[in-house]
Structure 1
Amino acid sequence: MKKLDIDRNYMEIIENVPDNLAEYQYYLGLQERKLYFNDEVDLGIINKAVYWIMRWNEEDEKNNIPLDQRQEITLYITSNGGCVISGLALVDAIQQSKTKVTTVGIGVCASMGAILLISGHERKAFRHTTVLFHDGSFAVQSSAKKAKQTVKYYERLDEKIKALVLEKTNVSEELYDEKEDEEWYLFADPQCIDLGVVDSIVE
């Protein structure tokens, strides 16, 4: 069997053969400021992405690199969505990043995955990428009073998501309200281009 040519620096870091090639791919991407977000949205994967965005910003600030000369950060997204609360932490990190963050949709960007896609300073997608917007869902097992408080919180959360979509796209408030209760599927080309969900198609 042919032996894999594993990067020596990587082997020194983990001191073992990586568990899988996806782990090694992630490591290689970091060398070029590329983050691969190909999972459900949860605190684990969100914390990794936030960490690297913050770290690269700190490096650029420390080295006094002008904004227009910084190596951009690229976030490749393939996700069926997940936790909105966790996902908003990454939205904040992207928006606060002085170093340019480009988001790229691949395959599917659904629910919170779609919100992450539109949050980039520049947004791109492969031609046949599917983007899905829909309202959030949750379940409550508690007292009636606490359930009402939870419902109110999620209503405010829905308003935050709406405000973000209206700010980052060309979707009008009227169109958003019309589609809010639907499973709103869009292809990157041409629908996402026309609605300003992405800026360009990856050729």
Structure 2
Amino acid sequence: MSRFFNMIPGTDACCILLYGDIGEYDDNVRSGDIARELLEAEALTGKVDVRINSNGGEVYSGIAIFNALKNSKADITIYVDGIAASMASVIALCGKPVQMSRYARLMLHSVQGGCYGNKDEMKDCIREIEALEDTLCEMYATRMGKDKEEIRAMYFDGKDHWLCADEALALGLIDGIYDADPVPEDSTPEQVFQIF
């Protein structure tokens, strides 16, 4: 059995993969695994590359991962390789810095959840979803240098908001595009192969 779930130790830097759904069950990206491996990576090299390709998942697990990364003493760079959707887009906010592939996407939207019970239990569930949205609005607003209510109006309207790398950079959600040179349209297959 492998010693690490998501970490690849390296000479100059360790790499932590946040590839998959975020949650505390089965083969998901679990907050406890990430926090433990982040501490080990800090001790090994002090430099950590975090690579994200995730559709998102559980909010509380995502907040724990966000806090572990944000409060780490390691020199962390976050890379959005494919998709950072929903809670994964929130985790990407803590990057120091955040780099995104020009071919990747961020997706922001309202908190989703559900419950079963009587009307009071359902009202409690709605209050908790609203409280979580308030927290996430504050996290986005801090990163983007905007007012929390402006973020709520822009992204917490019940729709999915897909952002390409250029849009995310313009909004301040990321710090750079790591493969910024586009592939020329008239490239031959051999030239495309050489680029990648």
TM range (shorter): 0.7 to 0.9
> What's the CA shift string for 1:165-184, capped at 9, x where partnerless?
00112455425413321211
Q: Distance in 2 between matches of 1:153 and 1:175?
A: 19
Matched, 1:80 2:55: yes
C-alpha distance 56-175 of structure 1, shift in aligned 2 (>3 A): closer
**Structural mapping, 1:23-172, within 5 Å:** 29-31=8-10, 32-43=13-24, 44-45=28-29, 46-57=31-42, 59=43, 71-172=46-147
Q: Decide whether the 8 Å contact of 2:6 with 2:33 is kept in 1.
A: no
**Structural mapping, 1:176-191, within 5 Å:** 176-181=152-157, 182-188=159-165, 190-191=166-167
> What's the CA shift string for 1:59-97, capped at 9, x where partnerless?
37xxxxxxxxx6321110000111111111001101111
Measure how far apart 1:24 and its partner are: 9.3
Measure how far apart 1:130 and its partner are: 0.8
Q: How many residues align?
A: 171
Identity %: 19
C-alpha distance 139-24 of structure 1, shift in aligned 2 (>3 A): closer
Q: Decide whether the 8 Å contact of 2:15 with 2:50 is kept in 1.
A: yes
> What's the CA shift string for 1:132-183, capped at 9, x where partnerless?
0000111111122222122211211111100000011245542541332121
Q: Decide whether the 8 Å contact of 2:85 with 2:107 is kept in 1.
A: yes
Q: Distance in 1 between matches of 2:6 and 2:156?
A: 35
Q: Decide whether the 8 Å contact of 1:170 with 1:197 is kept in 2.
A: no
Instruction: State the SS of the aligned residue for 2:113.
Output: coil
2:174 aligned residue? 198
User: Rg bigger for which structure?
Assistant: 1
Instruction: State the SS of the aligned residue for 1:73.
Output: strand
Q: Distance in 2 between matches of 1:156 and 1:176?
A: 12
Q: Decide whether the 8 Å contact of 1:170 with 1:195 is kept in 2.
A: no
* Cα RMSD after superposing both structures: 2.3
Structure 2 counterpart of 1:199, which letter?
D
Measure how far apart 1:36 and its partner are: 1.1
TM-score (norm 1): 0.76
Structure 2 counterpart of 1:187, which letter?
C
Instruction: State the SS of the aligned residue for 1:136.
Output: coil
TM-score (norm 2): 0.78
Q: Distance in 1 between matches of 2:56 and 2:98?
A: 17
1:10 aligned residue? none
